[in-house]
Structure 1
């Protein structure tokens, strides 16, 4: 059986079709933030020139001519040390405390004679500023500041952040917890307010899944297979941690990556989860899964990272399936957990729970056996950003059909057919080529090849190592793009 990596694949990972139990209201946890400030060092001490005393005028006495005395620069007190160095002096200019080189300092001009009527030994004073001036200026500044804040808030409310992409919608990236945190309770306390239950109904079916708050604009991430039944004319509701129910709208979804983004009306007060990086995870690191397994909202389970970059398809070879480069975990994941966050011990989302392995047969619907899979958060960010900016998600393709059966498992991916006018044909890929590696990463079979290609973005140039007629060669393929 062959699969076309250019085609979209319907997910078939398990989700619960049981009616959701009424969620229990929980108090949301307030977010704490720390503000830090800094102080500048002391300002340099200023010099004060003493005023010469002025006495009665006296007749000048004639004195013999004296030898000329070389002018000397007045001795100046060194300024006290400051915490910031003085800026360099540009060419042709001099610092205020320096005299021009090669020239003696100019003789200070004689003080101007006092104006008529002014007392001897004093200077004329500037007119005083009326006392009411400063309160008036302060009041005016306050009013202008308040008006600016109101206008700015009004403009922000009118902006449709869904068209600005993920970077403009108010996401969080700072880790909420310390790097050495080992408390599952602390992770739960941080993430439960950002985890929601998703109720979807349509086409005569109803089901429940999970999700998490993506940003401050009221967007929620979940799995596509959680809302696919309600995508065309159905209804979607989101239940927050405090039990409040919100109406939601599917604004975009990807069958290929099994992701969907919801817009939740009136939910801007929900706290977004902090987004981390699955690339930073090590096998054996602790992780926590959140969601509503079997409709049991606000459920927390813990485990470790069992493996990374695990090629997984969420359906059988007879279906249109989603192919993901998954984070594998032994944290308990069951039907209803789909779409919920997988979180590291610093309280950052590192994946989206999406599938579990089963032993088949009568145990196919038994639920967790300790082998669960999550979509890496890196792919979630890319897909969510595409949906927020354009309303649709795109994925990379090479324009070839690949064998996804077990016949060549472990040996590489066999190309069944290279499509005409495709990137693969332009690069020189041929039917029956055996793909051994993509950008230096070994691929073991057709599914691994599809998953590896989908870790890149449309337009990327990728190196393929192939074997043809017993000889290895390298091809560079610029990836195409399709919606899905």
Structure 2
């Protein structure tokens, strides 16, 4: 079985040749650099201008699975939220006046009662103003983009009705039609279709990068279609090939209800989830299933330039081409992930049997929020790097350091060429993909702890994370 990213370009190969191991692939992948195209995912997009039907499903020829993908990975921690810790509050230096010290030449004067409320009010105002000024100095101008997301759960905690979830989330889900500008042999417009959901009240929509990538490069037209069939033009605010996330903006989306945001971290294996989107161009389609696994390292893409690495939520909810970018939702009506990839069987099957087989992958909403916030503030997204190239071992029990870039965080640490990385923080490493996914689940400025083996001895090395844009 291979994991495929249900792709908008059906002819591109998306998986490594059969029988090749991670340590046999081209130049070794880099933490923060794009590793060799050891893709195991197929994007869930649908070509525009083709009739709906299984004979038109845009699947590449499936190939055997990437070693380690699809196997249980015990011991993986939950996805880490890269939020800054809160600063402890200090007690205010106010209180009743102290009595004069004995022997004082001048007795203390009692201030009027109205003094203390005035002082408290002034202190509060000064604190608020000072906090705003301090925030702008430390974190940049945070007022340029207002993100008014609904985070409260729309449905009760004990809800078990998929119908209720569908009724709640469908009005927030849209179909994406991305035309690249060319025409097919039949004369229809070329491009891709996918799905997305309304992120805030400013008309921003979240989808996958691979849904709009070709249209964005070619200057094509992108449209958002709501549940009632209303269409509106959309523009790309920014996109990340590394995390396969794109943020669009549409005036028509301002009239729609933003989706509630939940947490992939809090989801447990076996919990029910609902996938909503437009598989095979069939808008407003709802499927349900369970969380099959969490923290599943998956890489998708067509080549070195657009490979993405996902610390994925795995689900058996039916996902097909066209579901890309749509929400994966819990039973409280909150988005916990963005559907991005599916798995397919071997090439012995015909293309019309290459649809959903119950193995789909979604980008955790925590990572989506981090990337979307960066894009909304700067138009670009960043990802962490440590500056070392690694290659998977023959025994699939680690990744060997092949080279270290001068001046990089790895060069400033105790890491050495030849070290075999066994764990990143407390996540076990079986292939080089595990290392890349684990590092990219952090944010620049943080540190990771690598458990390495050197000369038969195990030790820990702490490495900082620099930032790259992509």
TM-score (norm 1): 0.68
1:66 is aligned to none
2:147 is aligned to 169
> What's the CA shift for 1:428?
2.2
Instruction: Choose 455-464 or 343-352, whichever is displaced more.
Output: 455-464
Q: Compared with structure 1, are the counterparts of its residues 364 and 322 closer, same or farther at alpha carbon in structure 2 (3 Å cutoff)? A: farther
Q: Is the CA contact (8 Å cut-off) linking 1:332 and 1:372 kept in structure 2? A: yes
Give the distance between the partners of 1:192 and 1:415, measured in 2 at CA.
47
1:378 aligns with 2:356: no
> What's the CA shift for 1:317?
7.7
2:455 is aligned to 469
Give the distance between the partners of 2:350 and 2:261, measured in 1 at CA.
33
2:388 is aligned to 400
2:209 equivalent among 208, 220, 224: 224
Count of aligned positions: 347
1:456 equivalent among 427, 442, 465: 442
> What's the CA shift for 1:4?
1.9
Deviation string for 1:94-119 (max 9, x for gaps)? xxxxxxxxxxxxxxxxxxxxxxxxxx
Q: Compared with structure 1, are the counterparts of its residues 226 and 430 closer, same or farther at alpha carbon in structure 2 (3 Å cutoff)? A: same
> What's the CA shift for 1:318?
7.0
> What's the CA shift for 1:415?
1.6
Give the distance between the partners of 1:359 and 1:483, measured in 2 at CA.
34
Give the distance between the partners of 1:167 and 1:305, measured in 2 at CA.
33
1:5 is aligned to 31
Q: Is the CA contact (8 Å cut-off) linking 1:21 and 1:296 kept in structure 2? A: no
Deviation string for 1:254-281 (max 9, x for gaps)? 0000000001124311100000000110
RMSD: 2.4
1:187 is aligned to 165
Instruction: Choose 233-242 or 218-227, whichever is displaced more.
Output: 233-242
Give the distance between the partners of 1:221 and 1:363, measured in 2 at CA.
34
Give the distance between the partners of 2:50 and 2:200, measured in 1 at CA.
25
1:17 is aligned to 47
Q: Is the CA contact (8 Å cut-off) linking 2:34 and 2:305 kept in structure 1? A: no
Q: Compared with structure 1, are the counterparts of its residues 429 and 438 closer, same or farther at alpha carbon in structure 2 (3 Å cutoff)? A: same
1:67 is aligned to none
Give the distance between the partners of 1:399 and 1:367, measured in 2 at CA.
38
Give the distance between the partners of 2:410 and 2:49, measured in 1 at CA.
47
Give the distance between the partners of 1:364 and 1:257, measured in 2 at CA.
31
> What's the CA shift for 1:319?
7.1
Q: Is the CA contact (8 Å cut-off) linking 1:3 and 1:402 kept in structure 2? A: yes
SS at match of 2:228: coil
Q: Compared with structure 1, are the counterparts of its residues 456 and 318 closer, same or farther at alpha carbon in structure 2 (3 Å cutoff)? A: closer
Give the distance between the partners of 1:345 and 1:479, measured in 2 at CA.
36
TM-score (norm 2): 0.70
Q: Compared with structure 1, are the counterparts of its residues 297 and 367 closer, same or farther at alpha carbon in structure 2 (3 Å cutoff)? A: same
Give the distance between the partners of 1:240 and 1:384, measured in 2 at CA.
21
Q: Compared with structure 1, are the counterparts of its residues 317 and 244 closer, same or farther at alpha carbon in structure 2 (3 Å cutoff)? A: closer
1:416 aligns with 2:402: yes
Give the distance between the partners of 1:92 and 1:422, measured in 2 at CA.
57
Q: Compared with structure 1, are the counterparts of its residues 260 and 20 closer, same or farther at alpha carbon in structure 2 (3 Å cutoff)? A: farther
Q: Whose radius of gyration is greater, 1 or 2? A: 1
1:252 equivalent among 213, 225, 238: 238
Q: Unpaired runs of 5+ in structure 2? A: 1-24, 53-94, 100-140, 183-189
Q: Compared with structure 1, are the counterparts of its residues 354 and 363 closer, same or farther at alpha carbon in structure 2 (3 Å cutoff)? A: farther
Deviation string for 1:327-347 (max 9, x for gaps)? 000000000000000000000
Give the distance between the partners of 2:388 and 2:249, measured in 1 at CA.
36
2:196 is aligned to 211
Q: Compared with structure 1, are the counterparts of its residues 20 and 375 closer, same or farther at alpha carbon in structure 2 (3 Å cutoff)? A: farther
Q: Is the CA contact (8 Å cut-off) linking 1:12 and 1:225 kept in structure 2? A: no
Deviation string for 1:270-327 (max 9, x for gaps)? 1000000001100000000000000000000000000000000113787752110000
Q: Compared with structure 1, are the counterparts of its residues 195 and 362 closer, same or farther at alpha carbon in structure 2 (3 Å cutoff)? A: farther
1:160 is aligned to none
Q: Unpaired runs of 5+ in structure 1? A: 23-88, 94-162
1:441 aligns with 2:427: yes
Deviation string for 1:163-205 (max 9, x for gaps)? 8589822111000000010000000000000000000011533
> What's the CA shift for 1:438?
1.5
